[in-house]
């Protein structure tokens, strides 16, 4: 269990918004004669494109949304991102396991339908609270369609073509993420509501074609996941994020802050206790007996926290400090996400073969941290398009190296029966860390009253996120690097 096979990791290439698992045995009852696997690939790629576009589009549109809602505070607007991330984190494993009991094609269409309906509702939101509520419903749709889309792919493609199909699925998702900032900038130019409206016709078309073309992939008799456990982890992460965001307003000594941290501790401790003692745990503790899986999880947490903060911070800085339009902001951000699929598909696999997973993860962490340090060092009050690229290019390369390698490491040494579960747990950790990272950055920045104070706060935030990223080097060397024996 202590040895990682680089060949197994190379086939698990992912982008910043997806998780990928190796293929299980073919599912019984699937008729491949009546459907083209490539048609199925095209349909399920729509789902992952919706999820990835939404992540980057919303970040670019946040300042415009805040202005439309009568100058909503940064703390309030952070929940537009964090509500989505927390719900997605908890529901991905829950819906992924629940969907195993039912037809994969029906579950996928239900997920797309839920995401589409929630997008329409988001476009009509009249307050931050209603927008956050509809974003949570969006997350539920995304959490349902992501694992079922992979289940459909693995069911219809023959074993010798599955690896290629999954790589195509992730590359298209990465391309959607790369286009997100630009598309978001264009749509926000008209009205921020279009960043949600655009999902509606795409989702409806995908549902109609999917209903017509997707094959019936039956479920199987799998244990029903525990909804109480899902509620515990959702409440625990939510309480922790809320406490961090509100520290500036209420102060560390506030009874409300103390109560929020205490609630987070109790809820998360109860969740861990459930996982340890239950006969049907929400997260199987046996996964963490594998040193490489544990190492990947411990690296993924700080890396994802910094990634969430990075994505929010640069969009906010360009629009609030430099006064750039959403379109200019999107164009400046685009090189980073564009480099993610290029790096992961063209270079990550080759580097893993030659140098090993730990070295590639280390390089990814260093590149990502370098981008944050560059911003903390060179960005000033004067607008400069090139300075944004100075940070976006290394962070994009860092994500392309670190993320797919961590996903590969996390599943490469697991038995085949645990591939899906392990992948879901890692992505759950990633989403939860994204929310915490956004909350920490919001707490650091606070509400500066002058441009000079804003610059100091953002510089401090980028330095802190670079330091948090570097924490991932410890488990990389301690747990991911192959042992001598």
Residue 135 lies in a domain: yes
- Per residue in 167-181, pLDDT tens? 677 667 767 777 788
Cβ-Cβ contacts under 8 Å for 118 (sequence gap 6 or more): 134, 135, 137, 138, 140, 141
Residue 71 lies in a domain: yes
- Per residue in 95-106, pLDDT tens? 877 877 778 788
- % of the chain residues with pLDDT over 70: 88
- Per residue in 261-289, pLDDT tens? 999 999 999 999 999 999 889 888 988 98
How many domains is the chain partitioned into structurally?
A: 2
Residue 429: pLDDT band by 50, 70, 90 thresholds?
Answer: very high
Q: Which of 243, 266, 281 is the last residue of a domain?
A: 281
- Per residue in 319-334, pLDDT tens? 999 999 989 999 999 8
Residue 337: pLDDT band by 50, 70, 90 thresholds?
Answer: confident
> In this structure, are 199 and 243 located in the same domain?
no
**What's the CA gap between 476 and 478, in Å, rounded?**
6
Q: What is the mean pLDDT of residues 309-317?
A: 93
Q: What is the mean pLDDT of residues 297-320?
A: 94
Residue 485 lies in a domain: no
Here the tokens at position 146 are 């992501």
pLDDT of amino acid 461: 96
Q: What is the mean pLDDT of residues 385-401?
A: 93
> In this structure, are 154 and 267 located in the same domain?
no
- Whether 306 has a pLDDT exceeding 90, the answer reads yes
Q: Is the distance from CB of 390 to CB of 367 less than 8 angstroms?
A: no
> In this structure, are 56 and 15 located in the same domain?
yes
- Whether 9 has a pLDDT exceeding 80, the answer reads no
Residue 144 lies in a domain: yes
Q: Is the distance from CB of 99 to CB of 148 less than 8 angstroms?
A: yes
Q: What domain range is 236 assigned to?
A: 226-281
Mean pLDDT of the chain: 85
pLDDT of amino acid 310: 94
Cβ-Cβ contacts under 8 Å for 121 (sequence gap 6 or more): 134, 137
Residue 1 lies in a domain: no
pLDDT of amino acid 125: 95
- Whether 336 has a pLDDT exceeding 80, the answer reads yes
pLDDT of amino acid 264: 95
Q: Which of 247, 281, 315 is the last residue of a domain?
A: 281
Residue 15: pLDDT band by 50, 70, 90 thresholds?
Answer: very low
> In this structure, are 464 and 432 located in the same domain?
yes
> In this structure, are 25 and 129 located in the same domain?
yes
Residue 29 lies in a domain: yes
pLDDT of amino acid 24: 42
> In this structure, are 135 and 276 located in the same domain?
no
How many other β-carbons are positioned within 10 Å of the β-carbon of residue 164?
12
- % of the chain residues with pLDDT over 90: 48
pTM for the whole thing? 0.86
Element spanning 238, H or E: helix 227-250
pLDDT of amino acid 265: 96
pLDDT of amino acid 7: 55
pLDDT of amino acid 386: 94
Residue 45: pLDDT band by 50, 70, 90 thresholds?
Answer: confident
- Whether 29 has a pLDDT exceeding 60, the answer reads no
Residue 31: pLDDT band by 50, 70, 90 thresholds?
Answer: very low
Q: What is the mean pLDDT of residues 455-475?
A: 97
Q: Which of 248, 263, 281 is the last residue of a domain?
A: 281
pLDDT of amino acid 319: 93
- Whether 16 has a pLDDT exceeding 50, the answer reads no
> In this structure, are 25 and 169 located in the same domain?
yes
Lowest mean pLDDT segment, chosen from 1-15, 191-205, 377-391: 1-15
pLDDT of amino acid 484: 55
Residue 366 lies in a domain: yes
Q: Is the distance from CB of 6 to CB of 352 less than 8 angstroms?
A: yes
pLDDT of amino acid 194: 94
**What's the CA gap between 332 and 258, in Å, rounded?**
40
pLDDT of amino acid 1: 44
Q: What are phi and psi of 354, to 5 degrees?
A: -85, -40
How many other β-carbons are positioned within 10 Å of the β-carbon of residue 354?
10
> In this structure, are 149 and 183 located in the same domain?
yes
**What's the CA gap between 381 and 454, in Å, rounded?**
9
> In this structure, are 241 and 328 located in the same domain?
no
Q: What DSSP assignment string belongs to 15-27? A: -TT-------SPP
> In this structure, are 190 and 129 located in the same domain?
yes
- Whether 10 has a pLDDT exceeding 50, the answer reads yes
Lowest mean pLDDT segment, chosen from 149-163, 232-246, 342-356, 454-468: 149-163
> In this structure, are 84 and 100 located in the same domain?
yes
361 or 145: which carries more pLDDT confidence? 361
> In this structure, are 299 and 355 located in the same domain?
yes
């Amino acid at each position: 269990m202590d040895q990682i096979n680089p060949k197994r990791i190379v086939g698990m290439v992912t982008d910043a918004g997806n998780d990928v698992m190796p293929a299980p045995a073919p599912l019984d009852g699937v008729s491949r004669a009546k459907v083209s696997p490539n048609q199925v690939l095209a349909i399920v790629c729509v789902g992952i494109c919706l999820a990835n576009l939404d992540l980057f589009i919303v970040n670019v549109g946040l300042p415009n949304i805040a202005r439309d809602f009568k100058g909503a505070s940064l703390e309030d607007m952070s929940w537009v991102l964090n509500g989505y991330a927390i719900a997605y984190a908890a529901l991905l494993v829950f819906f992924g396991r629940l969907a195993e009991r039912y037809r994969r094609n029906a579950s996928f269409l239900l997920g797309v339908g839920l995401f589409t309906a929630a997008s329409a509702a988001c476009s009509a939101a009249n307050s931050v609270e209603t927008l956050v509520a509809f974003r949570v419903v969006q997350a539920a749709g995304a959490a349902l369609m992501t694992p079922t889309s992979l289940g459909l792919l693995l069911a219809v493609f023959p074993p010798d073509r599955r690896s290629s199909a999954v790589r195509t699925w992730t590359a298209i998702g990465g391309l959607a993420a790369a286009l997100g900032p630009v598309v978001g900038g264009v749509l926000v130019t008209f009205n921020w509501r279009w960043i949600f409206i655009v999902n509606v016709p795409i989702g409806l078309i995908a549902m109609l074609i999917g209903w017509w073309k997707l094959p019936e992939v039956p479920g199987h008799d799998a244990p029903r996941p525990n909804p109480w456990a899902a509620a515990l982890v959702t409440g625990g992460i939510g309480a922790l994020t809320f406490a961090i965001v509100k520290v500036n307003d209420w102060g560390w000594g506030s009874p409300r802050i103390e109560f929020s941290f205490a609630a987070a501790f109790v809820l998360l401790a109860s969740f861990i206790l459930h996982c340890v003692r239950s006969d049907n745990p929400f997260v199987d503790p046996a996964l963490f007996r594998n040193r490489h899986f544990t190492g990947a999880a411990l690296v993924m947490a700080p890396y994802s926290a910094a990634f969430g903060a990075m994505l929010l911070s640069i969009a906010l800085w360009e629009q609030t400090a430099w006064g750039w339009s959403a379109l200019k902001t999107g164009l400046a951000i685009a090189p980073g996400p564009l480099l993610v699929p290029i790096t992961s598909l063209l270079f990550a696999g080759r580097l893993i073969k030659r140098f090993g997973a730990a070295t590639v993860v280390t390089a990814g962490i260093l590149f990502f941290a370098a981008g944050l340090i560059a911003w903390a060092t060179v960005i000033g009050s004067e607008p400069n398009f090139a300075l944004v690229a100075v940070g976006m290019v290394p962070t994009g390369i860092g994500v392309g190296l670190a993320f797919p390698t961590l996903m590969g490491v996390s599943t490469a040494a697991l038995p085949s029966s645990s591939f899906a579960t392990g992948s879901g747990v890692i992505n759950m950790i990633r989403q939860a860390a994204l929310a915490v990272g956004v909350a920490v950055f919001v707490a650091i920045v606070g509400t500066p009253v002058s441009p000079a104070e804003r610059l100091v706060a953002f510089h401090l935030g980028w330095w802190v996120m670079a330091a948090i990223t570097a924490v991932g080097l410890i488990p990389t060397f301690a747990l991911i690097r192959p042992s001598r024996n």
